[in-house]
């Protein structure tokens, strides 16, 4: 399966309309995983935080641009202020602390997509049109929020 996933990621990278291929591959193991009913219970999401409980630091430098890029490219799944949604996990989680998911891992996730492995949200597709410049500022933003919330 790891091989198929890599193969899929490469194909998606090569074909401009790669997003379509990603979703249309017939392998049931790599298709979207239905979100369990637990994901919808309460005001929280499966791996989400209550947005109000997140400490939002005053951002400076690259992180300011990063917030806009994150909101445009990532927040539909990872939530405003990284809170998570029912489409993707919060990134304010010790799993994603810098020494466990380094900056390179964030960049790879955005460029190649991620095979679902920690959660039940399904795969993360490659983020279309994302550039290294976008990622530099997005990573600065993610780290600023993580740091303000004790994810060190
Ligand atoms: C279409 C929804 C979606 C979008 C858009 C999205 N993600 Fe994700 N992302 C996910 C899901 C779902 C996972 C969890 C996969 C798992 O581990 O089960 C994930 C996981 C991750 C991870 C963890 C990777 C790993 O190696 O475990 C990182 C980092 C990440 N996303 C960053 C981003 C960034 C940065 C953006 C924007 C540039 C982004 N994501 C956009 C859905 C999305």
Q: For 4-24, what is each residue's pLDDT tens digit? A: 555 444 443 343 343 334 444
- 12 by Cβ neighbours in 10 Å (0-12 / 13-18 / 19+) ranks as buried
Mean pLDDT, rounded, of the chain: 79
Q: For 85-108, what is each residue's pLDDT tens digit? A: 999 999 999 999 999 999 999 999
Residue to probe by mutation, ligand 1, list 12, 93, 124, most atoms within 8 Å of CB: 124
Residue found under tokens 């591959």:
25
Residue to probe by mutation, ligand 1, list 78, 125, 139, most atoms within 8 Å of CB: 78
Q: How far is the CA of 57 from the centre of ligand 1 (A)?
A: 22
The Cα 103–Cα 98 span in angstroms is 7
pLDDT of 3: 52
pLDDT over 70 at 42, yes or no: no
Q: For 124-139, what is each residue's pLDDT tens digit? A: 999 999 999 999 999 9
């Amino acid at each position: 399966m790891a091989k198929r996933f890599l193969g899929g990621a490469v194909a998606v990278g090569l074909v401009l309309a790669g997003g379509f291929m990603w979703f249309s591959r017939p392998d049931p193991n790599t298709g979207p995983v239905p979100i369990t009913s637990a994901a919808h219970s309460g005001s929280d999401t499966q791996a989400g935080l209550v947005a109000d409980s997140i400490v939002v630091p005053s951002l400076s430098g690259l992180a300011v641009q990063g917030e806009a890029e994150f909101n445009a490219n990532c927040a539909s799944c990872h939530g405003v202020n990284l809170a998570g949604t029912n489409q993707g996990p919060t990134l304010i989680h010790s799993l994603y602390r810098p020494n466990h998911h380094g900056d390179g891992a964030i960049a790879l996730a955005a460029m190649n997509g991620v095979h679902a492995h920690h959660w039940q949200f399904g795969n993360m597709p490659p983020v279309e049109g994302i550039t290294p410049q976008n990622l530099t500022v997005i990573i600065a933003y993610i780290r600023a929020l993580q740091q303000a919330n004790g994810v060190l």
